[in-house]
A and B are shown apart, each in its own frame.
Chain A
Amino acid sequence: MSKAVLIGAVAALSLVLASCVTINVYFPAAAAERAAQEFVGKVIGEQPSPSGEAEGGREPQALLMRLLELLIPVAHARPDIDIRTPQIQAIQARMAERFQNVLKPHFDNGALGFTRDGLIEIVDPGKIPLRERAAVQQAVAEDNRDRNAVYREIAVANGHPEWEPDIRAIFARQWIEQARPGWRYQDGEGRWTQK
């Protein structure tokens, strides 16, 4: 008798809980993550670690989101985030060239870092030789203009300008995730740390 009551109570509670949980997956986080991963990889260059690590090392929450995405109709959660427009690819190529030729050595020596909002910043200008400092300042400003345009454009091109902050956040995470050991980045509280 009491067991039946218990089962009944648990069932009722589950029903109440289940009926309360509403998950709206409008923003295709996983697709955006893949797009950002691809974009960032092409700018930073070859990943030293196998790419499977990023996939396998996902937190259960991300996995859950992806499962939900499978369940929820495509119309709700768009299956893809489009970054393959020639214009965005042109910017990506330009950013990759700038990264390899100008920025990378200064990420290596700790002068530059990735900010928490998906941009880059001169953290320690003293580490850049004086002769190069003005050029690096300029490259950082140009790169940030490109970054802002890319985040905005990906959101707008996918029909959701309001996604810009989400796209930016996902990119910010990707830049940091794909950063090489020793590179600097800003953590969630805005403190500079080293990978």
Chain B
Amino acid sequence: MTLHGGRLKSKAVFALAGLCHAATAGAFALRGSVLALEAPGIQAEGIAMLAAPGPEPGIRLEVAVARLYLKALALDVSDLRVSCLLRQEQGEWHCRGRGGWRWAEERIEGELALRIAGEKLSLDWQRASASVHLEADVERGAVRASLAGLPLASLAALGSAVWPTLLLQEGTLGGRFVLSLGAEPRLRGDFRIERMAFDTRDGSAGAIGAGMTVRFSSILGATPRAELEATLSGGEWLLGPLYLALGEDSLALDAAFRIPPARGLELERLRVIEPGVFTLEGDLRWRPDRVWPDGGISLRVEDAEPFLARRVFSLLSLAGFAGLEGKGSAAIRLRLERGGLTQLSFEADALGLRDPKGRWAFEDLRGSFEFSSAPRVPESELSGSSAAFFGIGAGPWRVRLRNGSRSLILSEASRLEMLGGAVILEEGRIALGLDDSIEASLAVAIEGISLPELAARLDWPPFPGTVSGRLPKAHYRAGRLETEGTLEIAVFDGRILARGLSMERPFGTLPTLSADVLLERLDLARITSVFDFGLIEGRLSGRIEGLRLIDWQPVAFSAQLASERSGRRRISQRAVENLAALGGGGAAAALQRGIVGAFSSFAYEELGLSCVLSRYVCTMGGVGSAGDGYFILRGRGIPRVDVIGYQREVDWPVLIARLKAALSSGTVVVE
């Protein structure tokens, strides 16, 4: 007998059971084939059934379903096969045997026990350590499931129905679920996932060795919504640029979200808590056509040290702040609207931040600022007990700010004490550009910074003197700092003026600095005493144009330094030898060792050196030509000592080595 059905109602399965009931009485086989079967929320296709009397009492029942689709769960199972012995026991139907199905790529097969009592159906299925217990109340439209040790990989199809790019790889699932069918199906449950490994086809998220305990309730329908509480524990997690290695730690998460009919995701509530470390809260709405969500995020960091080191280090290193160290607490609030940042507020409480390469550090940062079109506080204050840049300490400091739309404006001048003097921020403005780049303009004055203190911090020889000056316009954008104005360095009883100071990537890769420098009447006696070069008396003036440092090392300049041709001018024997050494081997030619040896110092007319540094070669000159060479020192009176250089091109590292040798040991290097 063959039964052809088109679309039957949910009662169909029980009608078939009824037919089987009839079959037990007589000794005939019943073969059924139903093309499709549809009940609310369930769809089955290609159902074939064979009921025949078995060797034992009862009926051997074989059911095959080509495809079974459970709409509420988006559960799509194919090649479902059940083979069991159907028996009637005390008014209930039991069927025990084997059953399996294909989910995604994998075929799962195990032992099966089915029980039908009136409108109630229960199913036990077991394979190795995995078990499923299902209870279905057809009349009430409810299904309860208890799962234990179910391999996650077997849920791959279900997973990708929820998250299309999800690839479930390893791990087991155990827990309880309750599905209530109806116009608005509901699913709730609590479950635990162990040793989970998953990835996504686009590689945007994944986990290895992770654990998860979840309690959730959801309403499935046109606009699915869910609330859940979860604990993420152990393993490694990757979410876009965020990489978390939880190790022994765990994060508590609770969230409520809905999926609107136009897809996207509305996160009505999100809270992630790691007690004592941080709390993240947010309400975000993703639209399928936009990358960035709209909504707000608020992050409160209770302890910056573990937070920076363990939670956001991957984000920091992507942003170029790898290994940023911190302590204390802070809070950040962001508002995103129409794909852009409309509000950013920052609060710090005893926050310390330190660049691991020692380029900058802030201690005990307190206060707040806000970028917003409608700031909650129009004025705010930020202060710190100390700050340091390239090892140069400063502080305490305090800035008062006017919080504007996409900008912060300094509302009054702020003084930063450092190195026995001060840097005064006279004007300041930081703005977020339309492309979210940061732009800053400043007016800075420098008051009496002590050069010996600066030199000590930078490991330089102990220069005497002070630095002061004004940079009325300094502008920073896209890693470039350009200034107008002059820095004046009062040093060695003369002064050094630096103009056109500009820097690129000061805290980044390959920092550069450019400037034009003017030297005015520096007292050579003081310079040579500091540098232990051998005494020279006189005044030195000159210019270093187009000075350019890369990584704080000079790579280009055009320098001309010469003594003033007035006043007392004398040079010691040692200084003569050192000057000769600077000029290279050729300079020794005009040196009369015998005469030099007899006097401790000599009068001179002028001395000077010029060097045009380019491509690591210094093209040298002096204070006038002397035949094939150039005068480095032009003597005066008797005995007259001239130092004449002949080497025009010197490798810069060689020149530096000569200078260092002359300064440190006092011995002359003649090559």
Binding site for B on A (CB under 8 A): 82, 84-88, 90-91, 122, 124-128, 130-131, 133-134, 137-138, 141-142, 145-146, 148-150, 152-153, 156-157
Which 8 A-B pairs have CB atoms at the shortest separation, nearest pair first? A125-B203, A134-B243, A126-B203, A149-B509, A130-B206, A149-B510, A87-B550, A138-B317
Which residues of the other chain, B, contact A124 by a CB distance below 8 angstroms? 203
| Contact indicator A137/B508 (Cβ below 8 Å) | no
Nearest CB to that of B314 among chain A residues? Answer: A134
| Contact indicator B615/A84 (Cβ below 8 Å) | yes
Partner of A87, one of B199, B208, B241, B551: B551
Which residues of the other chain, B, contact A157 by a CB distance below 8 angstroms? 548, 550, 555-556
Q: Most B CB atoms within 10 A — which of A130, A137, A145, A148?
A: A130
Known: A133-B206, A153-B512. A145 touches B320 (CB 8 A): yes
Nearest CB to that of B614 among chain A residues? Answer: A82
Q: How far is the CA of A156 from the CA of B202 in the complex (A)?
A: 39
Partner of A130, one of B199, B241, B322, B505: B199
| Contact indicator A137/B318 (Cβ below 8 Å) | yes
| Contact indicator B317/A126 (Cβ below 8 Å) | no
| Contacts A85-B615, A87-B551, A125-B203 supplied; 10 other A-B pairs, CB < 8 Å | A85-B616, A87-B555, A126-B200, A130-B197, A137-B241, A137-B318, A138-B314, A138-B318, A141-B319, A146-B509
Any A CB within 8 A of the CB of B201: yes
Any A CB within 8 A of the CB of B606: no
Interface string of B312-341 (1 = CB under 8 A from A): 001001111010000000000000000000
Nearest CB to that of B207 among chain A residues? Answer: A130
- B interface residue count range (under 10 / 10 to 19 / 20 to 34 / 35 or more): 20 to 34
| Contact indicator A131/B509 (Cβ below 8 Å) | no
Which residues of the other chain, B, contact A137 by a CB distance below 8 angstroms? 241, 243, 314, 318
Nearest CB to that of B615 among chain A residues? Answer: A82
- Give the distance to chain B from A142, nearest Cβ to Cβ, in Å: 8
Q: How far is the CA of A34 from the CA of B22 in the complex (A)?
A: 90
Q: How far is the CA of A131 from the CA of B135 in the complex (A)?
A: 40
15 A-B contact pairs sorted by A residue (CB < 8 Å)? A82-B615, A84-B616, A87-B555, A126-B202, A126-B203, A127-B203, A130-B206, A134-B241, A137-B241, A138-B318, A138-B322, A142-B317, A146-B509, A157-B555, A157-B556
| Contact indicator A126/B199 (Cβ below 8 Å) | yes
Q: How far is the CA of A124 from the CA of B236 in the complex (A)?
A: 20
- Give the distance to chain A from B220, nearest Cβ to Cβ, in Å: 29
Interface string of B226-251 (1 = CB under 8 A from A): 00000000001010010100000000
Q: Most B CB atoms within 10 A — which of A84, A127, A141, A146?
A: A141
Known: A130-B208, A149-B505. A87 touches B553 (CB 8 A): yes
